[in-house]
Amino acid sequence: MRKANIDAYLTVIVTDKDGKVVYRRRYKSRSFVVGFLNALYADMTAGNYFFGPNIVVGSGTAKPTINDRGLESQIGNGTGAGQLQYGTDSLTTPVANTTSNTGSMTWSKSFTNGSGGNVTVSEVGAYMSVYSTSGSTTYFVLHDLLPSPITLSPNQVLTVVYTITIST
């Protein structure tokens, strides 16, 4: 019998200025970090709720650790040297497959290289926030080092997709 729980898969897709896919890889995401547990704990114990999904990319190369609070070197949003234009986070409605007893949803975001030069992405991560009546807290919940860094040429677009699955 399959041993279930929550898995995440990381898909990275690069498209050129004409929308043609020039690179695509899918990895098993390895790195929920302690922020996910902190967010879950805050939600389960105090009548709070999650909000504010935010996928980020960076140029760091350090191996993720359980206590990471952010990317090693996050790439900024913009069109300056070394920057990428951040799109909007998008999630798909969860789908249950009663044949395989699995459920999944995707969480994605695109990053456009309008910097005029090459930009290399080597790490990916995600934040989410928890609302409480006493204030909101943002948690870093996922951190993955890409097995192979991706260099984006000018006008190329990187799309990062986390597929979160549960199985019964």
Partner 1 sequence: MNVKAYLKIKVINEKGKCIYYRRYRSRSFVIGFLNVLFTNLTGQKITNINTSGGSYTINYTDEMLVTDSSNDNNYGIQIGTGTTAPSITDTRLSQLITNGTGVGQMQYGGVNVTGPVTNTTNNTGYITITRTFTNNSGASITVSEVGLVAYSGTLGLASNQYYLIIYDLLPTPITVPNGSSLSISYEIQVAT
Q: Which C-beta is closer to partner 1: that of 11 or that of 104?
A: 104
Can you give the binding site for partner 1, defined by CB under 8 A? 1-8, 29-34, 36-38, 40-41, 43-53, 64-68, 89, 91, 93-94, 96-98, 101-105, 107, 128, 131, 133, 143, 164, 166-168
**Distance in Å, CB of 110 to partner 1, minimum:** 17
Q: How far is the CB of 31 from partner 1 (least distance, A)?
A: 5
Q: Which is nearer to partner 1, 86 or 107 (CB)?
A: 107
Decide: 157 and 112 in contact? Cβ < 8 Å. yes
Q: State the nearest-atom distance from the C-beta of 66 to partner 1, in Å.
A: 4
Judged by CB, which is closer to partner 1: 101, or 153? 101
Question: How many CA within 13 A on the CB side of residue 126?
Answer: 29
Q: Are 22 and 97 in contact (CB under 8 A)?
A: no
Q: How far is the CB of 12 from partner 1 (least distance, A)?
A: 18
61 or 168: whose CB is closer to partner 1? 168
